[in-house]
Structure 1
Amino acid sequence: MTNQEIQISMSKSVEAAQRNFNTIRTGRANSSLLDRISVEYYGAETPLKSLATITTPDSQTIAIQPFDMGSLPLIEKAIATSDLGFTPNNDGKTIRINIPPLTEERRKEFCKLASKYAEEGKVALRNIRRDSIERIKKSEKDGEISKDQSHDEQENIQKITDKFINEVDKNLSDKESEILKV
């Protein structure tokens, strides 16, 4: 695996961690909060964003306008039974979700969740590093590259890994400050 391929794999891991961060509430309405919700629609699990237009008319409200009005009760049920803790309000055409302000305790829980997502991202980065270093050691053992080349490559992979881990840490601190901001 070339350094460029390693960087691409690692950047995908960082993006996945960032997507996870985006699903954490911050006290403000954000349509990405509903990204993980899927609805049982005609016997198939369908992502909510495929069934409806999701907007944020103000900082405390998410509005969901289904493309098919028959899916309205299904969407409402999926939101109500999700782990987000939202109570959807259905007016017959649109589902509105009021986002209550977060309590201090809830903010701390969300910070812990963000830390968990960051750690998952770092583990993914370390796994990529481990696999790459194993490949280099195998090449050295097979005589394809010298010891010096092997050492240089391993150092280079460690520098790349450190760069991406710092990026995950920066994203985590940004998310935590966003969660803790009242």
Structure 2
Amino acid sequence: MINEVFADGKKRMEGALTSLEGDFGKLRTGRAATSLVDKIPVDYYGTPTPINQLASVSVPDSRTVAIQPWDRGAFSLIEKALQQSDLGLNPVNDGKVLRIIIPPLTEERRKELVKIAKKYTEESKIAIRNVRRDMNDTLKKLEKDKDISEDEQRKAQDDVQKLTDDYVKKCDAACAEKEKEIMEI
């Protein structure tokens, strides 16, 4: 039973870490990445559709994202969606490909992005701590129901804390890496 609690908790903590990495992918770092535009919704025939389902998205160089729609009718729709997104970038339309030139980030904008990255990290840590609380509650319930002994419950709670600490360290390491990437000129 304890193993089931740990398996579920570990899976949920891993999910929080994966979510954090997904959030980091959406942060603009001054370097071009397809993840910047992949999930931007385009109103395609009345249905919000992500750009990566309407076009091929590539990075021809470190400062450019190229978007080549498969349907010519989607050109103006994708362009409009990009202009309305919160990226603050204007696409250049040459009739075949939409190009987004990523300008270098200002020092002020870099600091803002670092704050956002830290906020995402803190949210992930909160999610991990919530998983810890749920695991401990489950262990206490098992002990109360006499399914495990008090000693087993205490040892399991210590192991839960170690697992939590490991995942919090992983979040901090991911944040430090992203901060380094953002501040890199």
User: Could you say which TM-score interval applies, normalised by the shorter chain?
Assistant: over 0.9
> Which 5+ residue runs of structure 2 have no aligned equivalent?
none
Q: Kindly indicate whether the alpha-carbon contact (under 8 Å) linking 2:5 and 2:138 is maintained by their aligned counterparts in 1.
A: no
> TM-score scaled by structure 2?
0.95
Find the residue that maps to 1:56 and give its secondary structure.
Answer: strand
Give 1:18-33 correspondences, 5 Å limit. Answer: 18-33=21-36
Q: How many angstroms apart in 2 are the aligned matches of 1:53 and 1:135?
A: 47
Q: How many angstroms apart in 1 are the aligned matches of 2:140 and 2:124?
A: 25
The question of 1:107 aligning with 2:106 is answered: no
Count, aligned residues: 182
Q: CA deviation at 1:35?
A: 3.0
Q: Kindly indicate whether the alpha-carbon contact (under 8 Å) linking 2:63 and 2:103 is maintained by their aligned counterparts in 1.
A: yes
The equivalent of 2:165 in structure 1 is 162
Q: Kindly indicate whether the alpha-carbon contact (under 8 Å) linking 1:23 and 1:35 is maintained by their aligned counterparts in 2.
A: no
The equivalent of 2:154 in structure 1 is 151
Deviating above 2 A after TM superposition, structure 1's stretches of 4 or more consecutive aligned residues are none
Give 1:28-43 correspondences, 5 Å limit. Answer: 28-43=31-46
The equivalent of 2:65 in structure 1 is 62
Pick from 116, 123, 131: which aligns with 2:126?
123
The equivalent of 2:100 in structure 1 is 97
The equivalent of 2:6 in structure 1 is 3
Q: Which amino acid aligns with 1:177?
A: K
Q: CA deviation at 1:78?
A: 0.7
The equivalent of 1:79 in structure 2 is 82
How many percent identity over aligned positions?
48
Q: Which moved more, 1:63-72 or 1:142-151?
A: 142-151
Q: Which amino acid aligns with 2:177?
A: D
The question of 1:133 aligning with 2:129 is answered: no
The question of 1:179 aligning with 2:182 is answered: yes
After superposition, what is the alpha-carbon deviation per residue over 1:30-59, rounded to whole angstroms, capped at 9, x for unaligned? 111113311111111111111110011111
Q: Which amino acid aligns with 1:102?
A: L
